[in-house]
Structure 1
Amino acid sequence: MKVSTAALTALFITAPALATSPPKPFADTIYHNAQVVTVNDAQPEAQAVAILNGKILAVGENADVLRLKGDKTKVVDLKGLTMIPGFIDAHGHVMNTGLQAVSANLLSPPDGPVTDIASLQQALRKWAEVPVNKAQDFIIGFGYDDSQLKEKIHPTRFDLDKVSTEVPILIIHQSGHLGVMNSKALEMMKLTAKSKNPPGGVIRRVKGSDEPNGVLEESAFFGALIPLFSQISPDENEMLFRAGMDLYAKYGYTTAQEGRSMSDSIKTMYEIAQHDPLPIDVVAYTDIQLGTETLKAPYLSRSYTNGFRLGGVKLTLDGSPQGKTAWLTKPYLVPPEGQNAEYRGYPIMSDEDAEKYVGMAMENGWQLLTHANGDASIDQYIRAVKNATAKYGAKERRFVAIHAQTAREDQVQAFKDLNVIPSFFPMHTFYWGDWHAQSVLGDERAENISPTGWAMDRGMIFTSHHDAPVAFPDSMRVYSATVNRITRSGRILGKDQRVSSMTALKAQTIWSAYQHFEEDTKGSIEVGKVADLVLLSDNPLTIDPMKLANISVLTTIKNGEIIYTKANDKTALESCASSTRCQKLASHTMMIAGLIPHKH
């Protein structure tokens, strides 16, 4: 009789040790009386988990695992709580998430107070009145979203001038792809009617003139931010970095991603890990357009050094669908201000450049994560991968299509054919689903954003992400959106694209581990894997799916050690908001952007 590998695996996991086997060592910690969701198809459920030296020693029934209790074993009765593997970030920006700590909160409900331009202005005024902020001679805000403002428009320089004409103001769109400056900031950045649009970007203008209206898109906006992040000091980088990691841990992430870094940031994160091991694992990807000097040892590695490693490279081909800068093959339903009815967004680069960078990654054996939101940019990426594969041969590279928001069904099939992993952004169905249907794409195209159902139809794996700080790294909000696809108004957006609770959990654990080449050590609760675990208030596989977003992360465990508990959840991000040291970082941020003079 032929016995399957899965059956043999299950046998060895669950069978009691034979009398001739050497005795197992005692555990450091045993968690028992739990609902253990292992995400291991060979042993999907268990009651107890034993940990030794940061790794999983045993998984099984209470009685079997408790046999590993020694005199020094810590035994924790979970009294029916649910345990799952630690969440693995398929795409986010853990260092940039710390930016929220030093900015006025301009997010809309449920994450912030801003509902219209008046409340945005009030949030900026309130932030500016805090003494430690008032002393900085600038105002910075993060997270405004024109789709959630009552006016359904971007604020302009003139709206920000009503907050102040004396100090520079910079506010950042929730997508991270646009920003707005007041007149003082534009003056200091020397942006005038004579300023030309940079390649891959737009300086929006006052209607009927060439004067900038304050709104900057894509490379016009990044032109100010890239020097900012390349020049802040290691100490300031560390504050952002640790604030981001603490927020990730709060939501149950034991592995985070820094999805677009520069060489200096890579070096800084590596050095931080050397002098103080990171609380969670961080895998970073360097922007392939901004330099490749760190793509070597000790940075580039498949294994972590004190919690950090460089995993490969990032390429960006277009912008944001909710910001209407993503590159589409068909026009936007409602074009943005200043564009005609045929407006389809725009590419960041030419086909030749896209093929150059994809080919460079293949030739050098670098894993490539490619931001492609619009279906035209996805076409560009698919062409580049096809041509590079023809030149360099088909190999297991685990290239990733980041977001792939508007991927057509034929493009999902192309991902499968080319062994490209789609990392979808299902949270869009909640945050911007109504906006996509009513203004961005129209009903038909909006129904199929982040088409996880098409991937499942083809037997593909996919991953789900939050793209923090675009949204909070809220694991359960990601989970709920992947399963339910419910918009803010309560509409189910794309019922045929919904997936099961187990599929959604795999997309945030074992499949995300696979994306990072880490499926042998992470992503499921199995003997020998690292003890990265999360305790939840409810079982996501048995609760009403509509209540998934309400599940609380109670405890986060990394390498067997507790790094977060809900009972003590004042994260670094929250404490940083009132910290003079953190606000000094904000001041330096604006200095580097050229918005306030350096003070010596």
Structure 2
Amino acid sequence: MKRYFWLGLLSGLLLTACAASFSDPAPLPTVSPDAHYIFYNGHILTMNTGQQQAQAIAILGQKIEAVGNDSDVLALRRPHSVVVDLQGQTLMPGFVDPHSHIFNDAEQYLDMTVVEAQQVALENGITTIGAMYVTEEFLREMQEINRAGQLQIRTSLYLVITDNCGELQGDWWQEHAPTRAAGELLRVGGVKIFTDGGTCRRPALSYELEPGLGMGDLFFSQQEFDGLVAEAQAAGFQVVTHAIGDRAIEQAQNAIAAALAGQPNTLRHRIDHNSVIRPELLSRYGEIGIVPVIFGPYPLCEPFGPPPPPEYQAWEWPWRALLDANPGLPVAWHGDDPFFGRIRPLDDLYSLVTRNEVDQDGRVCESPAWQKAHAVTVAEALPMMTINAAYALFRDEEVGSLEPGKYADLIVLTGNPMTIEPETIRELNVALTMVGGRVAHCAAEMQTLCASTTALR
């Protein structure tokens, strides 16, 4: 379960090396529609089921022109092309984090501006996020950053109907309709509703963690929550539900099912966190068509509370069982940063496949055997962090996989997570991050690669 409380101590621990000195950049120049770049001699992980791996990729302007073998893609070379030899390195879509707080909590928990926090995210390979706690004031702040030309990460804003204590925040969200313009950096993605405790009060469980603790807090009755979801759906909003405990998950499933009334989930209503799932609730996600969005690491280094009783360990963060019960369902990962003390999806990938946790200092905390049983494979985890996460944001037609016509949002890694030992995934780093055909980050130690891509900056 996500035994989840605000971690006020993060500001002193989080990303010390990355927070040294930043200055907000000037507006970025636009990418020329004639700019042409070819990356070849690499391992291309496409996340496209029709062409899962390739050697080379060509980029024209902001979009992908071609993905294929070296000879076919190099044949597209033009007199002005910038050609980059990957020298066997791995290139894949940028990480898509559909549930993040790095922007709205940048100042309070990271001691950074939004633009500074954005650069840390880019350095760690994040190219698209869902900003998951958007007040009316923060909406205006993000709109101003976008107008100033300083936004580089594709950002979907989720407007809060309730705060984290379940208090309704008025009807201001109804004045800001969702947007779906292709390629937009900033959009209103939907709304967020809290069903149970976690950051305020306790998650709603079917059991007591310890005698006297109680079974947690639901913020609404089923009828009240049904009404909130139905109202948002009627206004055309995707609903993201914060649900940690199994009773909260059941309430959210019931409310979405009632709103859909047997129709497809075309608005892609989501349940996020899903930390404690009662076994009979597992298959309901697929039956209803709900998009589940789940954590990477389990809190081992700094536990949020006592462990579950042994008879309930199979309910807690049961990612293996969730995937097995819902074949074909686009299950997505989320980082929920900064609540685990770092902004580093590669550590989350490591945690998904090993169930170990990497703390903010790089220390590895070993998971118990019962949690290791919930592990997924690298081949399952990478789509959760790219194309499935893009689906959760209505961005899957634009990003999340490397296909001709999609935006060139990609990263280069220092190794191939598909072929190395799972224990060494945490040693990987992001060498290069590109968003829409522009390099937003190139690691200092990758001088050869950076020199090749100077023209892209």
Asked if 1:243 is matched to 2:243, the reply is no
Residue-by-residue CA offset, 1:339-394 (whole Å, 9 max, x unaligned)? x25x112122333331221111222221000000011111221222233333x954
Letter in 1 for 2:443: K
Q: Distance in 2 between matches of 1:76 and 1:427?
A: 34
Q: Alpha carbons of 1:293 and 1:346: their partners in 2 closer, same or farther (altered >3 Å)? A: closer
Secondary structure of the corresponding residue to residue 94 of structure 1: coil
Gaps spanning 5+ residues in structure 2: where?
1-32, 163-168, 358-364, 447-457
Asked if 1:443 is matched to 2:310, the reply is yes
Is 2:178–2:236's contact at 8 Å kept on the other side of the alignment?
A: no
The aligned counterpart of 1:74 is 82
The aligned counterpart of 1:539 is 416
Secondary structure of the corresponding residue to residue 428 of structure 1: coil
* 1:293 paired residue among 172, 178, 184: 172
Q: How far off its partner does 1:295 sit?
A: 4.3
Q: Alpha carbons of 1:378 and 1:490: their partners in 2 closer, same or farther (altered >3 Å)? A: closer
The aligned counterpart of 1:548 is 425
The aligned counterpart of 1:412 is 282
Is 1:448–1:494's contact at 8 Å kept on the other side of the alignment?
A: no
Q: Distance in 1 between matches of 2:311 and 2:301?
A: 18
The root-mean-square deviation of aligned C-alpha atoms, in Å, is: 2.5
Asked if 1:452 is matched to 2:319, the reply is yes
The alignment-based identity, stated in percent, is 29
Q: How far off its partner does 1:525 sit?
A: 0.8
Secondary structure of the corresponding residue to residue 564 of structure 1: strand
Secondary structure of the corresponding residue to residue 312 of structure 2: helix
Is 2:99–2:334's contact at 8 Å kept on the other side of the alignment?
A: yes
Q: Alpha carbons of 1:389 and 1:306: their partners in 2 closer, same or farther (altered >3 Å)? A: closer
Asked if 1:520 is matched to 2:397, the reply is yes
**After superposition, where does 1:273-352 map in structure 2 within 5 Å?**
273-289=146-162, 290-295=169-174, 300-303=178-181, 307-320=185-198, 325-332=202-209, 334=210, 340=212, 343-352=214-223
Q: How far off its partner does 1:310 sit?
A: 0.7
Q: Alpha carbons of 1:551 and 1:93: their partners in 2 closer, same or farther (altered >3 Å)? A: same
**After superposition, where does 1:389-404 map in structure 2 within 5 Å?**
389-390=260-261, 393-404=263-274
Q: How far off its partner does 1:426 sit?
A: 3.0
Secondary structure of the corresponding residue to residue 96 of structure 1: coil
Residue-by-residue CA offset, 1:142-188 (whole Å, 9 max, x unaligned)? xxxxxxxxxxxxxxxxxxxxxxxxxxxxxxxxxxxxxxxxxxxxxxx
Give TM-score scaled by structure 1 length. 0.62
The aligned counterpart of 2:257 is 386
Secondary structure of the corresponding residue to residue 283 of structure 2: helix
Q: Which has the higher contact order (CA 8 A, sep 6+)?
A: 2
Secondary structure of the corresponding residue to residue 391 of structure 2: helix
Is 1:274–1:306's contact at 8 Å kept on the other side of the alignment?
A: no
Is 1:96–1:241's contact at 8 Å kept on the other side of the alignment?
A: yes
The aligned counterpart of 2:98 is 90
Higher helix share: 1
Letter in 1 for 2:129: A
The aligned counterpart of 1:270 is 143
Larger radius of gyration: 1
* 1:363 paired residue among 231, 234, 248: 234
Letter in 2 for 1:67: A
Q: Alpha carbons of 1:555 and 1:371: their partners in 2 closer, same or farther (altered >3 Å)? A: same
The aligned counterpart of 2:336 is 467
Give TM-score scaled by structure 2 length. 0.81
Residue-by-residue CA offset, 1:89-130 (whole Å, 9 max, x unaligned)? 121113134136665xxxxxxxxxxxxxxxxxxxxxxxxxxx
Gaps spanning 5+ residues in structure 1: where?
1-24, 104-238, 570-600
Is 2:104–2:134's contact at 8 Å kept on the other side of the alignment?
A: no
Residue-by-residue CA offset, 1:530-584 (whole Å, 9 max, x unaligned)? 1001010110000101111221111111111110122189xxxxxxxxxxxxxxx
